[in-house]
Amino acid sequence: MQLLCLRLAVIFCHARQMPNLRGFQLHYINNAIKLTLPKYWPEKYPQSYYLLEEETLAWQKINWLFKVEVL
């Protein structure tokens, strides 16, 4: 979990701006991690959203599931 938090911090702060993280939820259950984002977030931060999608691919290489969901 510490590695995930560090990787997410890098993604969210890559533009050296403070992104709005209100409405985010992070759930961890049995090697499965789900990050829930507000509906507006992918459109407002497209590069960060792209990096999150790439992160899901990176976690598929090991025995963990990382999923990004927009609500």
Q: Nearest 5°: CA angle at 14, between 35 and 65?
A: 25
Among 24, 23, 38, 40, residue whose Cα is nearest residue 71? 38
CATH topology for 2-70?
Alpha-Beta Plaits (3.30.70)
Q: pTM of this prediction?
A: 0.84
**Residue 15 confidence (pLDDT):** 67
Q: Give the domain ranges of the chain.
A: 2-70
Tell me the pLDDT of the chain (71 aa) as tens digits. Answer: 888 889 998 888 876 777 777 888 999 988 899 999 999 989 988 988 999 999 999 998 888 899 999 99
